[in-house]
Amino acid sequence: MKIALAQQNYHIGNFEENTRKIIEGINRAKQSGADLVVFSELSVCGYYPGDFLEFKDFINKCYEAIDRIKQHADNIGVLIGSPARNLQKEGKDLFNAAFLLYEKEIKGEIHKTLLPNYDIFDDYRFFEPAFEWKILEFKGKKLAVTICEDIWNMGDNPLYRVTPMEKLMPFKPNVMINLSASPYNYAQDIVRNSIIKAHTLKYQMPMLYCNAIGSQTEIIFDGGSLVYDINGRKVKEMKYFEEDFEVFELEELLQKSGASKASPNGELHPEQSEGSEGAEKYYYSAQEVGKGEDILAYLSNDKNIDEIYHALLLGIRDYFRKMGFSRAILGASGGIDSAVTQVLAVDALGKENVTVLLMPSQFSSSHSVEDAEQLSRNLGCNFHITPIKNIFESFLGELKPIYKDLPFGLAEENIQARTRGNLLMSVANKFNYILLNTSNKSELATGYGTLYGDMAGGLSVLGDVYKTQVYALAKYINHRKKRIPENIINKAPSAELRPNQKDSDSLPEYDILDRVLYEYIELRDGPKEIKAKGYDPALVDRVLKLVNTNEYKRKQFCPVLRVSCKAFGVGRRMPVVGKYLS
């Protein structure tokens, strides 16, 4: 039996386009001689549809799409993902389902058992877990079909009480097939490979794993669909951040090559023997990846930075395309964050679709303006110089009766940032641009930004990228082709909202700050655990207080492209008025 994996980029609620893509994938599978073609989780409607699932019309359109698709499933089997109605009164109204289509009929329906309700996931809000388990028989083979999270109940601390594969093993399946929508973070490829390797070793059968590709608002799906054979060997890792299509011969995946053993961090060693016992030890969690390494070395290693660069390009490109926009605007300060954002925008959208405003004040250094100009010339994109000195002084003049003779302070700094935000939004409105925000994760974490000023924007490009990673991205970009002026990379970072201002006046040095932030945000360590690792206690208390007291700013922030295992936004839900560590 030949099985095809169709790794495709869907658009939530765009039933016409999604159906067209799926039919195109079916036709390609037919031309390739495949017997069965597999698509990703909720491929019919796109993942994740959120509260669209509460609308009967949305579910009706899913079934209408299935009716169209099944007409093309004549002499080929098709596995697609879609919401399915729960016909029982008890429980939620829907299942997260996989449908087997063949001979222009629905031949089988599998329901997702494990419904994640953590981080960005919200399956249990809408779906009822499966209450029965069965295999799908197709052309003489027994298929153990699971959906995404169903294969993730593994490791030292399983999250669920039921493991679907354990329920399916009594039916003696021949192959595992998983329809997935597994979002990207820079540890996820290692984690995915480990979970699938562990399954093939534990259950002694091959697995074909079809993952989603594309960005849905802030969530990026990186593809990287996987096929492992019965021996626990990786047969294929499909493209990352691109659509892809491959066909595999099941009989070849079922060929045993003698007893073999997988090492936790490498390939199989056939000379060593091991059965299914202990296979789970090859599974890594996201928090274990990089464990033992220096935090900054891990965050900024070549592999992670290369992945982050391509993930952000996909995130920008899909956000614009799926929103129906083509052109971006951003404010260029001559600093590292706006420079990296500008390069990413040009690489994602094309230089002709990126416009930049340089908005110097009386506190801006001449070299910052020159650096920003040089960057735009290097990139070949449009830029305009719009000084804000007169606007700023006009504000101060109007506010003089209220401010009286109070000294210059944060309010005056924020007027400058909000003036720039106002100018950027005005141009965006006038010319139908989307404003790209340039704040990084270190700044967002500590509240080092002005609401409605430099925190304005339609999409945050670097909001899940620590400052030290921004520098690594700049060096990565220049290694490929020198475009960012060296002075931007080498100078001390500054908001330039008052004379001789530097970020270090308000924040710890970024090489220390980012380590503490990672311990708290990604690893969820508390103050005692972080201090025990040798960090200055007063600094730890100060940083954690900054994070928690600035939640109100992040609540009003634009969508953040997610590249880590814990990003600000939909996956991190904190109360604004909480007292903890504040």
Q: Which residues are catalytic?
A: 41, 112, 148
Instruction: Give 434's strand partners.
Output: 328
Token pair, residue 94, equals 């829907």
Phi, psi torsion values for 252, nearest 5 degrees = -70, -35
CA dist 555 → 353, 454, 560 (Å): 29, 15, 11
Cα-Cα-Cα-Cα dihedral sign, residues 84, 88, 92, 93: positive
State CA 433 to chain mean position distance.
23
**Look-up of token digits 């380590």:** 515
Considering only CA atoms, which of 183, 166, 171, 206 is closest in space to residue 40? 183
**Look-up of token digits 């879609």:** 82
User: Distance between CA 192 and CA 283 in Å, rounded?
Assistant: 9
User: Distance between CA 184 and CA 220 in Å, rounded?
Assistant: 6
User: Distance between CA 323 and CA 362 in Å, rounded?
Assistant: 37
Are 570 and 218 within 8 A, CB to CB? yes
Q: 517: Cβ–Cβ under 8 A, 6 or more apart, which residues?
A: 441, 442, 445, 446, 466, 543, 547
Instruction: Give 216's strand partners.
Output: 219
User: Distance between CA 576 and CA 490 in Å, rounded?
Assistant: 36
The per-residue DSSP string of 70-130 comes to HTT-SSSEEEEEEEEE--SSSS-SEEEEEEEEETTEEEEEEE------STT--HHHHBPPP
State CA 3 to chain mean position distance.
28
What's the DSSP call for residue 558?
Answer: P
User: Distance between CA 179 and CA 98 in Å, rounded?
Assistant: 8
Q: Is 474 left (phi over 0), alpha (psi -120 to 50) or beta?
A: alpha
